[in-house]
C-alpha cells in the first residue's frame, strides 16, 4: 500500500471514533505527564545546578574539610598568581537575646558562617540593608536570617549574644546563592566576620567546625586546567584527613548523585502510572477493533491483505500514541511549573528549569512505546478476523500461528523491560520492577478469573439486582479483567507509598523511649561540667548522663598508616558530610542504599573521621560484648570497638590502633567487639577505651539529659546565658525537621501514585462505556421485562462494587506485602499492621468503582427501551 493511500485511509478510519480515541489519548497522557514531570524536574535541577555551579560553590575551586589546611601546607605554591582566597568556617551553636529583667534572654540553635576575604566570589548574598556582606560585618556585628529575629523577638540594631560576646545585628540575610540543602537545616543562618568569631571565643574548645577554603582564579586561567589543578591539590593534601577538593566544573557531584537517585525512584513510580495507562490503551484498542470487525472483514473481502490491515491499524495506533504523548508532555510541563510552589522551601526556584528537551523526548518515546507495545496483543487479533464474516456473522476466526502470539507477548515483555531500563538505568532494578509488576498483575488477573469462576457456581440469590449484578461479572467476555488489574495496581501504588510514609513518620514521631534523653549537650568543657550539671539539676532534669570525650585521629592500623590504607582502598569518593556532623555521638549510620558504594564510603569515612573516644569501666546496658573480653589484658591499653565499625575499619580482635591525640601518640589494642542498640537514644561510642589511659588528655564532656516536657527552651536559655559555648541539641526538634521533609517527599510520591489511580478509574469507566451498546440492549431488555430503573442501577452497582472489591482487596494485599518487605528488610523496622488503612483503601476502591461505573452507564440507563430494541 502506498503511503498516501495509507494516510488517507487512516484519516477515514478515525471518523466516528473520537470518543474512543479521546480515551486512548487520555490514558496515555496521564502517564506521560507523570514521566515528563519527574524527568523534567530531575534534569532541570541538574541543569540548574550545573549552570549555577559557580554560584553554588561561590568560587572556582574549594577545599573542604573538618580541619583547617595542615600547618606548613603552602597552598599559594600551587596557585597561579592573582588567585583570590577566602576562608569560610561553619559550625552549629546556640545564640541568645540579651537578658531581660534578670531573666536570661531567649536562645536559639543556629548555623554560624564565618567569612573572610572576598566571599562570595560568585553569586550573591542578599542582605538588608542592601550592602556587601563585608561592609556589614565588623568585629562587633552579625548579620542574621530574618527567622532568627522572629524567634528571639529582636530587630535589626539589637544586641545578640554569640558565645562569650555581644554583637550588634547589622542586617538580615534573605538568601545565599551557595546554600543548597535538600535536607533539614540545623537552624537559621548567622554570619560573623573572622574577627567576630575570635571575640565570641567559640573556637579551640573542641567545637566541630567545617572549613572551606574558597579560591577564585585569575581571569586568564584556562578552565580546562582547573581539574588538573584540583587533582594536584588532592594529591598534595594528606589523604587521611579527608580533605575534599571541588571545582565548579564538577558541580556538586554528591548533591547531583543524590538527586539522580531520587529521580530514578520517582521515575519508576511515574512509569508505573504510564504502564497502567497502557492497560487502558490496550483496552480501548480492543474495544475499538471489536467495533470495526465488520469493516475489517469488508476490507479483507475487497482485497486488503492481512498485513495491510495490520499496518493500517498499527500506524493509527502510533499516531494516537503520538497525540497522547504530546498532550502528556504539555501536562507534565504544567505540573513542573507548579513544583516551585509545592517545594519552594526545599528547592530554590532559580534551580528549576521546566521545558527540558531531554525530558520531553523521553516522555514522547515512552508514550509512543507504551502505546504500541500494549496495542500489539489486541492488534495481533486483527490477523484472525475472517473475511467470511461478511456472509456469516459467526464465521470462525482464522487460525493464527502460535508464533505470532508468542512474538506479540515477547515484544510486550521485552519492550516493558527496555522502557523500564530507560527510566532506571539499572538492569537489576528493571528486572525487579518488571518482575514485581508482572507478579502483581498476574495475581490480580488470577483473582479476577477465580472470582468470575466462583460467581458462576454461586447459588442464585433471591434479590434480582444482586443476582443480575453478579451474573454480569461472570458473563463470558465481560471486560472486567483489565479494569481490575488497572485499578488494583493503582491501589497497590498509592497504598504502599502511604503505608511506608506513615510507618516511617510514626517511627520518627513516636514518643521517645522512657528514660531516653530528650537533648544532648555538646562541647561542655571539663571545668564547666559541675556548673552545667548543677544548672540541669536545678532546672528539673529527670536524668543526666555524661561521659568524657577525647578527640583523636587514627594514625595507623597494625603499622599501616591511614594514608596508605586510604590510598589502597581507592581514590574516589569523599566523606559523607552528614556523618561527620552527627549530633555529638556516633549514632545511626545504618540505612539501606547502594551497598557496594556505601561500604566503600563507610570504610573511608571510618578511617578518616575525627575519632571520638571515651573511657569507662563498665559498659552501658545497651552494649553487648559479642567477641573477646572487656578489659582483659593487664599489659596493654585496650579499646572496645562497635562491631560494624570494626568491620568498616577492617580490624578484629588483637589489632593495634595507633591514635594521635592532639599531638600525643597512643597505641590501643582491640580486645573486645560490641553490638549497640542505637534505638535507646543513649550516649554510645564506636570506640571505648579502658580507664586509666585518657584521663589526662585534653577532653570535653558530652551529656545526655532527659528534660521535663516544655522545659527545653528554658534550659537552653539558661545555658546560653551561663555557658555560651555549650550547644544544646533537642532531639524532638531535629526529628520533627526530618519528619517534615519526609512528609513532603511522601506527598510527592503519593501525588505521582495518584496518577495511577486516576488511570485505573478512567480505565474502569472506559471498559464500561465500551460495553455500552451491549449494556444498553441489556437495560432495554430488563426494563421491558418489568425491572425498574432503580433495580437496574442497583444491579449495575453490585457489579461495579464487586470489581472494586476484588481490585481493592488484591491491590491492598499486594501493597501490604510490598510494604512489609520494604519496612522489615529495607528499613529494618518491625512490621506494624494497619488494618484500618487497608480496609479504607478497599472501601475507597469500591466507592470509586461504583461512582465511575454508574457515571459511565448513565446513558444506557436513561435511554428508553424502544429506542434500543428498534435499532436492533
Partner 1 sequence: MTEPRIDIRHLTRRLPSGGRELTILDGVDLRIEAGEFVAVLGPSGSGKSTLLALMAGLDRPTEGEIRLDGRPIENLSEDELAILRRERIGFVFQSFQLLGNLTARENILLPLELIGAPEAKTRADELLAAVGLSDRGHHYPTQLSGGEQQRVALARAFATRPPILLADEPTGNLDGTTGRKILEILVDLRNRYGTTLVLVTHDPAVAALAGRRIHLHDGRIEREERSEVGDVRSDAPSDVTHAPEMAATSGAPA
Check residue 391 for interaction with partner 1 (CB under 8 A).
yes
Least Å distance, CB 312 to partner 1, is 12
Least Å distance, CB 303 to partner 1, is 2
* CB nearer partner 1, residue 12 or residue 567: 12
* CB nearer partner 1, residue 18 or residue 428: 18
Measured distance CA(117)–CA(131) in Å, rounded: 16
Query: Segment contacting partner 1 (CB under 8 A): 10-18, 551-559, 605-613, 770-778?
Result: 10-18
Check residue 299 for interaction with partner 1 (CB under 8 A).
yes
Kindly give the pairing relationship between strand 664-676 and strand 638-642: parallel
Least Å distance, CB 407 to partner 1, is 17
Least Å distance, CB 459 to partner 1, is 28
Among 20, 211, 300, 468, binds partner 1 (CB under 8 A): 300
Q: In whole angstroms, how far apart are CA 56 and each of 62, 175, 254?
A: 11, 12, 13
* CB nearer partner 1, residue 7 or residue 515: 7
Among 69, 75, 203, 301, binds partner 1 (CB under 8 A): 301
Least Å distance, CB 296 to partner 1, is 10
The answer to whether 34 and 755 have CB atoms below 8 angstroms apart is yes
C-alpha cell at 266: 520517582
Burial class (CB in 10 A: 0-12, 13-18, 19+), 820: middle
* CB nearer partner 1, residue 74 or residue 394: 394
Among 318, 351, 395, 739, binds partner 1 (CB under 8 A): 395
Site string for partner 1, 307-346 (x = CB under 8 A): xx--------------------------------------
Check residue 81 for interaction with partner 1 (CB under 8 A).
no
Measured distance CA(551)–CA(526) in Å, rounded: 14
User: Hey, is 64 helix, strand or coil?
Assistant: strand
Query: Segment contacting partner 1 (CB under 8 A): 392-400, 497-505, 636-644, 864-872?
Result: 392-400
Block residue for cell numbers 582564579: 217
Closest alpha carbon to 726 in 590, 575, 551, 535: 535
Site string for partner 1, 361-390 (x = CB under 8 A): -------------------------xxx-x
Measured distance CA(555)–CA(553) in Å, rounded: 6
The answer to whether 38 and 360 have CB atoms below 8 angstroms apart is no
Query: Segment contacting partner 1 (CB under 8 A): 295-303, 464-472, 648-656, 701-709?
Result: 295-303
Among 157, 220, 303, 786, binds partner 1 (CB under 8 A): 303
* CB nearer partner 1, residue 306 or residue 415: 306
Site string for partner 1, 242-281 (x = CB under 8 A): ----------------------------------------
In this structure, the number of other CB atoms found within 10 A of the CB of residue 102 comes to 5
Among 77, 392, 402, 595, binds partner 1 (CB under 8 A): 392
In this structure, the number of other CB atoms found within 10 A of the CB of residue 777 comes to 17
Measured distance CA(96)–CA(609) in Å, rounded: 31
Measured distance CA(517)–CA(680) in Å, rounded: 9
Least Å distance, CB 22 to partner 1, is 16
82-88-91 Cα angle (round to 5): 175
Least Å distance, CB 387 to partner 1, is 5
CA Rg, the chain, in Å? 34
Query: Segment contacting partner 1 (CB under 8 A): 14-22, 506-514, 553-561, 688-696?
Result: 14-22
Check residue 8 for interaction with partner 1 (CB under 8 A).
yes
The answer to whether 496 and 818 have CB atoms below 8 angstroms apart is yes
Residue by residue, DSSP assigns 158-223 as -EEEETTEEEEEEEEEEEETT---SS--SS-EEEEEHHHHHHHT-TTSS---EEEEEEE--TT--G
Measured distance CA(815)–CA(831) in Å, rounded: 14
Helix (H), strand (E) at residue 808: helix 789-821
Among 7, 12, 413, 692, binds partner 1 (CB under 8 A): 12
Buried b / exposed e along 240-267 (16+ C-beta atoms within 10 A): bbbbbbbbbbbbbebbbeebeebbbbbb
376-359-322 Cα angle (round to 5): 35
* CB neighbour list of residue 123: distance below 8 Å, 6 or more residues apart: 52, 54, 55, 56, 58, 176, 177, 178
Least Å distance, CB 314 to partner 1, is 17
* CB nearer partner 1, residue 4 or residue 595: 4
* CB nearer partner 1, residue 16 or residue 253: 16
Residues touching partner 1: how many (CB under 8 A)? 32
The answer to whether 247 and 214 have CB atoms below 8 angstroms apart is no
Measured distance CA(819)–CA(542) in Å, rounded: 38
Measured distance CA(168)–CA(62) in Å, rounded: 30
Among 232, 305, 560, 859, binds partner 1 (CB under 8 A): 305
Check residue 871 for interaction with partner 1 (CB under 8 A).
no
* CB nearer partner 1, residue 23 or residue 243: 23
* CB neighbour list of residue 505: distance below 8 Å, 6 or more residues apart: 739, 742, 743, 746
> What DSSP character marks residue 17?
-
Check residue 626 for interaction with partner 1 (CB under 8 A).
no
Least Å distance, CB 319 to partner 1, is 16
Among 5, 7, 100, 128, binds partner 1 (CB under 8 A): 5
Check residue 294 for interaction with partner 1 (CB under 8 A).
yes
* CB nearer partner 1, residue 298 or residue 516: 298
* CB nearer partner 1, residue 511 or residue 872: 872
Kindly give the pairing relationship between strand 519-524 and strand 727-730: antiparallel
* CB nearer partner 1, residue 16 or residue 82: 16
* CB nearer partner 1, residue 157 or residue 399: 399
Query: Segment contacting partner 1 (CB under 8 A): 90-98, 292-300, 799-807, 811-819?
Result: 292-300
Query: Segment contacting partner 1 (CB under 8 A): 15-23, 100-108, 727-735, 853-861?
Result: 15-23
* CB nearer partner 1, residue 393 or residue 590: 393
* CB nearer partner 1, residue 16 or residue 70: 16
* CB nearer partner 1, residue 386 or residue 628: 386
Check residue 289 for interaction with partner 1 (CB under 8 A).
no
Among 118, 306, 698, 754, binds partner 1 (CB under 8 A): 306
Among 69, 75, 290, 298, binds partner 1 (CB under 8 A): 298
Least Å distance, CB 13 to partner 1, is 7
**For the chain, how many residues are written?**
872
Q: In whole angstroms, how far apart are CA 442 and each of 184, 590, 740, 756, 842?
A: 41, 35, 37, 17, 19
Least Å distance, CB 402 to partner 1, is 17
* CB nearer partner 1, residue 380 or residue 738: 380
User: Contacts with partner 1 in 545-584 (CB under 8 A)?
Assistant: none
Distance of CA 841 to the CA centre of its chain: 23
HEC string for 833-859: CCHHHHHHHHHHHHHHHHHHHHHHHHH
* CB nearer partner 1, residue 288 or residue 659: 288
Block residue for cell numbers 519526609: 742
Which residues lie near partner 1 (CB under 8 A)?
1-2, 5, 8-9, 12-13, 15-17, 294-295, 298-308, 386-388, 390-392, 395-396, 398
Amino acid at each position: 500500500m502506498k503511503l498516501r493511500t495509507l494516510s488517507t485511509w487512516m484519516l477515514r478510519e478515525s471518523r466516528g471514533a473520537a470518543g474512543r480515541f479521546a480515551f486512548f489519548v487520555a490514558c496515555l497522557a496521564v502517564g506521560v505527564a507523570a514521566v515528563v514531570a519527574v524527568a523534567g524536574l530531575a534534569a532541570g535541577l541538574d541543569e540548574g545546578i550545573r549552570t549555577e555551579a559557580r554560584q553554588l560553590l561561590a568560587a572556582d575551586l574549594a577545599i573542604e574539610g573538618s580541619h583547617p589546611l595542615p600547618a606548613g601546607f603552602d597552598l599559594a605554591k600551587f596557585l597561579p598568581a592573582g588567585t583570590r582566597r577566602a576562608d569560610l568556617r561553619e559550625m552549629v551553636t546556640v545564640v541568645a537575646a540579651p537578658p531581660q529583667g534578670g531573666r536570661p534572654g531567649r536562645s536559639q540553635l543556629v548555623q554560624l558562617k564565618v567569612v573572610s576575604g572576598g566571599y562570595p566570589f560568585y553569586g550573591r548574598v542578599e542582605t538588608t540593608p542592601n550592602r556587601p556582606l563585608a561592609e556589614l560585618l565588623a568585629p562587633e556585628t552579625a548579620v542574621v536570617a530574618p527567622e532568627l529575629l522572629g524567634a528571639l523577638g529582636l530587630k535589626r540594631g539589637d544586641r545578640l549574644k554569640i558565645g562569650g560576646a555581644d554583637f550588634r545585628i547589622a542586617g538580615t540575610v534573605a538568601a545565599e546563592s551557595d546554600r543548597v540543602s535538600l535536607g533539614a537545616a540545623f537552624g537559621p543562618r548567622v554570619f560573623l566576620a573572622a574577627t567576630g568569631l575570635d571575640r565570641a571565643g567559640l573556637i579551640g574548645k573542641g567545637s566541630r567546625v567545617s572549613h572551606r577554603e574558597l579560591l577564585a582564579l585569575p581571569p586568564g586561567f584556562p578552565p580546562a586546567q582547573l581539574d588538573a589543578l584540583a587533582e594536584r591539590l588532592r594529591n598534595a593534601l594528606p589523604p587521611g584527613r579527608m580533605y575534599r577538593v571541588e571545582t565548579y566544573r564538577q558541580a556538586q557531584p554528591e548533591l547531583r548523585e543524590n538527586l539522580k537517585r531520587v529521580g530514578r525512584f520517582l521515575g519508576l513510580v511515574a512509569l508505573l502510572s504510564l504502564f497502567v495507562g497502557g492497560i487502558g490503551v490496550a483496552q480501548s484498542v480492543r474495544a475499538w477493533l471489536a467495533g470495526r470487525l465488520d469493516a475489517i472483514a469488508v476490507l479483507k473481502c475487497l482485497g486488503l491483505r492481512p498485513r495491510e490491515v495490520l499496518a493500517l491499524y498499527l500506524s493509527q495506533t502510533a499516531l494516537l500514541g503520538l497525540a497522547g504523548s504530546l498532550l502528556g508532555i504539555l501536562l507534565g510541563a504544567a505540573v513542573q511549573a507548579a513544583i516551585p510552589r509545592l517545594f519552594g522551601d526545599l528547592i530554590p526556584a532559580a534551580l528549576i528549569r521546566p521545558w527540558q528537551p531531554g525530558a520531553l523526548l523521553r516522555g514522547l518515546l515512552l508514550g509512543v512505546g507504551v502505546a504500541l507495545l500494549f496495542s500489539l496483543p489486541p492488534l495481533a487479533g486483527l490477523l484472525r478476523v475472517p473475511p467470511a464474516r461478511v456472509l456469516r456473522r459467526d464465521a470462525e476466526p482464522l487460525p493464527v500461528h502460535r508464533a505470532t502470539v508468542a512474538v506479540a507477548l515477547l515484544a510486550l515483555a521485552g519492550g516493558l523491560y527496555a522502557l523500564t531500563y530507560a527510566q532506571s538505568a539499572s538492569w537489576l532494578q528493571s528486572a525487579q520492577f518488571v518482575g514485581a509488576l508482572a507478579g502483581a498483575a498476574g495475581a490480580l488477573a488470577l483473582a479476577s478469573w477465580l472470582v468470575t469462576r466462583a460467581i458462576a457456581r454461586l447459588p442464585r440469590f433471591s434479590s434480582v439486582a444482586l443476582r443480575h449484578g453478579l451474573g454480569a461479572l461472570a458473563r463470558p467476555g465481560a471486560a472486567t479483567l483489565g479494569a481490575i488489574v488497572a485499578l488494583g495496581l493503582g491501589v497497590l501504588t498509592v497504598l504502599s507509598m502511604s503505608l511506608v510514609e506513615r510507618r516511617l513518620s510514626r517511627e520518627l514521631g513516636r514518643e521517645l523511649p522512657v528514660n531516653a534523653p530528650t537533648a544532648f549537650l555538646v562541647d561542655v568543657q571539663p571545668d564547666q561540667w559541675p556548673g552545667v550539671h548543677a544548672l540541669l539539676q536545678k532546672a528539673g532534669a529527670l536524668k543526666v548522663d555524661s561521659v568524657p570525650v577525647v578527640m583523636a585521629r587514627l594514625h595507623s592500623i597494625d603499622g599501616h598508616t591511614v594514608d596508605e590504607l586510604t590510598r589502597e582502598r581507592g581514590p574516589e569518593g569523599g566523606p559523607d558530610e552528614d556523618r561527620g556532623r552527627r549530633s555529638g555521638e556516633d549514632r545511626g549510620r545504618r540505612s539501606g542504599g547502594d551497598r557496594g558504594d556505601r561500604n566503600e564510603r563507610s570504610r573511608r569515612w571510618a578511617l578518616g573521621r575525627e575519632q571520638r573516644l571515651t573511657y569507662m569501666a563498665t559498659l552501658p546496658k545497651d552494649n553487648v560484648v559479642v567477641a573477646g573480653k572487656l578489659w582483659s589484658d593487664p599489659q596493654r591499653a585496650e579499646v572496645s570497638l562497635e562491631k560494624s565499625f570494626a568491620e568498616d575499619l577492617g580490624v578484629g580482635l588483637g589489632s593495634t590502633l595507633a591514635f594521635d591525640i592532639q599531638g600525643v601518640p597512643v597505641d590501643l589494642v582491640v580486645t573486645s567487639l560490641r553490638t549497640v542498640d542505637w534505638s535507646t537514644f543513649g550516649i554510645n561510642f564506636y570506640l571505648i577505651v579502658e580507664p586509666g589511659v585518657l584521663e589526662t588528655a585534653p577532653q570535653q564532656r558530652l551529656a545526655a539529659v532527659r528534660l521535663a516536657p516544655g522545659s527545653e527552651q528554658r534550659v537552653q536559655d539558661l545555658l546560653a546565658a551561663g555557658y555560651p559555648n555549650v550547644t544544646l541539641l533537642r532531639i524532638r526538634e531535629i526529628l520533627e525537621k526530618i519528619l517534615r521533609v519526609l512528609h513532603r517527599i511522601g506527598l510527592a510520591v503519593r501525588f505521582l501514585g495518584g496518577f495511577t489511580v486516576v488511570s485505573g478509574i478512567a480505565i474502569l469507566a472506559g471498559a464500561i462505556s465500551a460495553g455500552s451498546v451491549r449494556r444498553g440492549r441489556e437495560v432495554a431488555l430488563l426494563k421491558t421485562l418489568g425491572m425498574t430503573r432503580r433495580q437496574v442501577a442497583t444491579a449495575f452497582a453490585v457489579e461495579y462494587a464487586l470489581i472494586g472489591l476484588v481490585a481493592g482487596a488484591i491491590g491492598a494485599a499486594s501493597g501490604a506485602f510490598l510494604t512489609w518487605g520494604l519496612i522489615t528488610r529495607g528499613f529494618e523496622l518491625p512490621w506494624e499492621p494497619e488494618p484500618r488503612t487497608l480496609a479504607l483503601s478497599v472501601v475507597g476502591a469500591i466507592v470509586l468503582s461504583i461512582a465511575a461505573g454508574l457515571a459511565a452507564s448513565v446513558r444506557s440507563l436513561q435511554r428508553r427501551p424502544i429506542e434500543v430494541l428498534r435499532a436492533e
